[in-house]
Amino acid sequence: MLPEAAAWLIIGLPLLAGVFSIAVLRPWSRSLWQYAGYVGIAGTGAAFVLSLIAVNGAMGNGDAGYEPHAWFAVGAIGAQDGFRMTVGILLDPLSAIMAAVVSGVSTVVQVFSLGYMRKDEHDANGTWSDYPRYFTYMSLFTASMLGLVLAYNLIQLFVFWELVGLFSYLLIGFWYHRPAAAAAAKKAFIVTRIGDFGFMLGILYLFLNRGEFTALGLNPFEIPAILDAAPMLSAGIATWVALGLFAGAAGKSAQFPLHTWLPDAMEGPTPVSSLIHAATMVAAGVFLVARLFGLFEESAAAMNTVAIIGGFTAVFAAAMGLAANDIKRVLAFSTVSQLGYMFLALGVGAPGVAMFHLFNHAFFKCLLFLGAGSVHHSVHTFDMRYMGGIRRWMPITYLTTLVGGLSLAGIFPLAGFWSKDEILTTAWSGAHAANTGVSQLVFWLALAAAFMTAFYVFRLIIMSFHGEFRGGIDSVPHEERIPDEAHHEVHQHESSRVMTLPLIVLAVFAVGSGFVANSLIDLGPVPAHWFSHLLHEDAPKFNIGIALASTVVAVAGIGLAVLVYGTRTVSFDGLGRLWRWGHRLLAERFYMDALYEDLIVRRALYRGLFLVSDWFDRRIVDGVADLAGWLGRNSGRAIAQLQTGHIQVYGVGVSMGAAVILIFYLMQR
């Protein structure tokens, strides 16, 4: 069993690595900047080892049961409404698994970054200045996520939640000199902040109703206490708190209607996208709902909301992925869609299944992104229209991406198949769902999304790796190039070993993680349904009919993609105008960005609300300040008229004043 100090080190070591890079390495030893990556990898890797020990401990004991430490008192302890705010580590199977995924994926991504970020090694000054900054952000990002995962207290979780938001902002805007990257970073920060507002409201509502908890002798913010109290709360409290928290989760996990930031977040370095999509940022929302699942379970309204939003987003985002030309954007829509799957699973009452999909998704999505990064290193563009035929000189990248794609599509027996199958089975049976009708509805949505997923991922693979090479960066029109990448040239060779090795490691996981972790049969060291049982859940019964249905749907999607983009035996052009309209709608992302940016931000806010607040600021706020200044200036000017310079006038004033005081004094008596 891991001692508590070691559990704190899971957060502390990446934090220390990040602080060391930024506070010691960067200012003091310019010659060692190039080694910043090893510092980050050491810190995160050590956290990974500790997390594995924690998972091992959780297998035997379940909850580690660390006592939280007192932080400050709210109200009088013992009195009604009084409680003690605490901080601590909540290390149970759920957080142990999550910590291991976060630190493991982060370590792999940082190893990949050693190679990928090398192109930034020499900036304009011929230094490695971006190198320590990059690895600092990565380490601190990881530390924040680990803090979120291990938080004992909802407030503590919220603090790390915001820190994750901050470091995602810094990483997405890492190339801050590119206007698109700066805008994307702002967009990610602001859109997730809208969700976080809901999170705050949920916390405040919880605080307003703290009396319900203190009456039970429980702490209103400690996560285990919330779960204990959930069945005993008055009606409505669970619903409103759960919906507030879900708003935060939907913002972080890019669910409809707060999904718009995630595709834009592709402006960051590719390993950052990989980390954000696989384990760190977007997983936080799913984790939050899974963490507080006992609370959500008490409210049918919250559960149905989660299920429907999840199911809708799964289809909605997959549809947008069908028409994107940027390889990273396709993967981004895919992530949104897969997160929809996870919320769908949560909404139909299966947090273990959702976490299982999160677990598998982390590996194959990380793999796909790193594959895209590897491709970019060769052709220096993300636009699939200018790729093609890359498999000829990048066999390792091709094969690993293919494995990731098959896993994402849900092909037997790869990782994605098993968790997707569990989600579909749970949704179909509706055994744990609040509403069977909703559960059945989202099953069909999930099946539709599975078809689209298979189609777009093979569209991606065929467009970028098969067929004739279409020139890479050399054929990209000059006006479309990113200025500081304009000078790059196509290098037709495989990426360096430091980049291919992480791909191979992740490919192994993308193949095996599903079958091994939650196997149907005993596998010697790993018992059957290890993952579900670790999270104290019964795995859904394997349903051969649903497994066949999902496989048929996935193969159909792949087949259609091959026919359309590979052999070109099928073409959509026959559909004529309908096809063009549909394609336009998808390529424009259902005009959601236009709606938000043009209609809401530019028109409603900028020309409406902001005009009013601008007027208020200029007229009322500034007016009061100006009035104070005007009064001072003009009363001063008026008084200055009295200063004539004639001493006798002053003398009259003094005498009159003395006389007034004298008369006043005399009248007093």
- Contact positions vs other proteins (CB under 8 A): 643-648, 651-652, 655
Shortest Å, Cβ 656 to other proteins: 10
CA proximity to 386, closest of 522, 301, 481: 481
Shortest Å, Cβ 663 to other proteins: 14
Shortest Å, Cβ 644 to other proteins: 6
Cα angle value 309/320/174 (rounded, 5°):
90
d(CA 107, CA 42): 8
Asked if residues 246 and 306 have their Cβ atoms less than 8 Å apart, the reply is yes
Q: Decide whether 615 or 650 has the Cβ nearer to other proteins.
A: 650
Report how far apart the first and last C-alpha atoms of the chain are (Å, whole number): 90
Asked if residues 139 and 182 have their Cβ atoms less than 8 Å apart, the reply is no
Q: Tell me the two tokens of residue 49.
A: 């080892």
Residue with tokens 């099946």: 447
Q: Decide whether 125 or 648 has the Cβ nearer to other proteins.
A: 648
Shortest Å, Cβ 653 to other proteins: 10
Shortest Å, Cβ 639 to other proteins: 14
CA proximity to 223, closest of 103, 354, 63: 63
Shortest Å, Cβ 661 to other proteins: 15
Q: Decide whether 236 or 651 has the Cβ nearer to other proteins.
A: 651
Shortest Å, Cβ 633 to other proteins: 20
d(CA 609, CA 612): 5
Q: Decide whether 569 or 643 has the Cβ nearer to other proteins.
A: 643
Q: Decide whether 79 or 647 has the Cβ nearer to other proteins.
A: 647
DSSP conformation letters of 80-139:
TT-EEEEE-B--SHHHHHHHHHHHHHHHHHHHHHHHHGGGGSS-TTSS-THHHHHHHHHH
CA proximity to 387, closest of 329, 332, 327: 327
Shortest Å, Cβ 648 to other proteins: 5
d(CA 250, CA 268): 21
Q: Decide whether 234 or 644 has the Cβ nearer to other proteins.
A: 644
Q: Decide whether 208 or 652 has the Cβ nearer to other proteins.
A: 652
d(CA 190, CA 601): 12
Shortest Å, Cβ 642 to other proteins: 11
Shortest Å, Cβ 602 to other proteins: 58
Task: Convert 269-302 to b/e letters by CB count within 10 Å (16 or more is b).
Answer: bbbbbbbbbbbbbbbbbbbbbbbbbbbbbbbeeb
53: left (phi over 0), alpha (psi -120 to 50) or beta: alpha
Q: Decide whether 436 or 655 has the Cβ nearer to other proteins.
A: 655
Task: Convert 53-68 to b/e letters by CB count within 10 Å (16 or more is b).
Answer: bbbebbeeeeebebeb
Q: Decide whether 528 or 662 has the Cβ nearer to other proteins.
A: 662
Shortest Å, Cβ 636 to other proteins: 15
Helix axes 395-409, 544-561, angle to 10 degrees: 130
Extract the runs of DSSP E, i.e. beta strands, from 466-564.
none
- Reported as half-sphere exposure (CB side, CA atoms, 13 A), residue 68 has a value of 21
Q: Decide whether 647 or 666 has the Cβ nearer to other proteins.
A: 647
